[in-house]
């Protein structure tokens, strides 16, 4: 089933805008923390909000990407930029609420990314990868541009990729069973959303290498400092 026929097109558009807005806010906040100027804040907001979708569209051949054909998609991160530029102390104070909306964006984009990948001829496994890339790609690009290890790869951050993979895999299973409906797609998005919220609530983190203790890591750091 095509993404644009699964949901009401107007509803789908505004859900996309909402997800882009929240992702862009997280990029703009990181830029402020890194003491970027207004141009740097705007770049990080655009990359975070649109990067995952652009990467997906380029890979699957849906060109030009939607971010370049819909002015609303491009302007939304600029609205986030203005908001954070002038009101970043207040935005920081509602960071928990931002995280909730970010989790909602994660759930939405992993579902739409998986569906769109399959719509353009990818197999189920590759479609799951596209779902993950759509949901998390912008955040990875944001961290790379800010000269940080991507949050997706850091053991000291709550799991982010896992909820996206679970949501995308649920969609792939629905496709395999020919059970993709608005209700089941929303259920897959809610699954990813709830997993992400639980990870934030209980500080769930992905395991590190087997038998790799923090003491070993501390010893390596000490040796590196001496060198």
Concatenating the DSSP letter of every residue in 156-203 gives: TS---HHHHHHHHHHHHHHHHTT---HHHHHHHHHHHHHHHHHHHHHT
Q: What is the pTM of this model?
A: 0.86
**What mean pLDDT is predicted for residues 19-43?**
93
53-57, 66-70, 155-159: least confident range: 155-159
- What is the pLDDT at residue 4? 63
Domain ranges of the chain: 3-207
Q: Residue 29 in contact with residue 101, Cβ under 8 Å? A: no
Confidence (pLDDT) at 156:
83
- Provide the CA 189 distance to its chain's centre, in angstroms: 13
Between 211 and 115, whose confidence is greater? 115
pLDDT at 209: 80
Residue (of 84, 83, 80) closest to 22 by Cα position: 80
Q: What is the pLDDT of residue 114?
A: 95
DSSP string, 21-90: HHHHHHHHHHHHHTT--HHHHHHHHHHHHHHHHHHHHHHHT--S-HHHH-HHHHHHHHHHHHHHHHHHHH
pLDDT in the model for residue 15: 83
The token pair that represents 68 in the structure block? 């370049």
pLDDT band at 119 (very low <50, low <70, confident <90, very high): very high
Structure tokens, 43: 């770049």
């Amino acid at each position: 089933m095509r993404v644009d026929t699964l949901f009401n097109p107007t509803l789908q558009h505004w859900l996309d805008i909402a997800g882009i807005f929240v992702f862009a806010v997280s990029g703009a906040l990181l830029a402020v923390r890194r003491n970027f100027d207004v141009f740097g804040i705007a770049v990080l907001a655009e990359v975070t909000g649109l990067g995952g979708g652009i990467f997906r569209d380029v890979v699957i051949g849906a060109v030009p990407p939607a971010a370049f054909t819909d002015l609303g998609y491009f302007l939304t991160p600029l609205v986030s930029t203005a908001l954070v530029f002038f009101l970043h102390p207040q935005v920081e104070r509602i960071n928990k609420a931002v995280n909730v909306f970010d989790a909602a964006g994660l759930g939405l984009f992993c579902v739409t990314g998986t569906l769109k990948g399959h719509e353009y001829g990818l197999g189920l496994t590759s479609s799951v990868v596209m779902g993950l890339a759509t949901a998390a790609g912008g955040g990875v690009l944001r961290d790379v541009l800010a000269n940080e290890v991507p949050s997706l790869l850091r053991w000291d951050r709550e799991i982010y990729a896992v909820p996206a993979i679970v949501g995308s895999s649920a969609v792939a299973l629905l496709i395999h069973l020919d059970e993709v409906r608005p209700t089941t797609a929303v259920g897959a998005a809610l699954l990813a959303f709830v997993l992400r919220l639980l990870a934030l609530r209980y500080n769930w983190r992905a395991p590190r290498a087997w038998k790799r203790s923090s003491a070993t890591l501390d010893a390596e750091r000490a040796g590196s400092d001496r060198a």
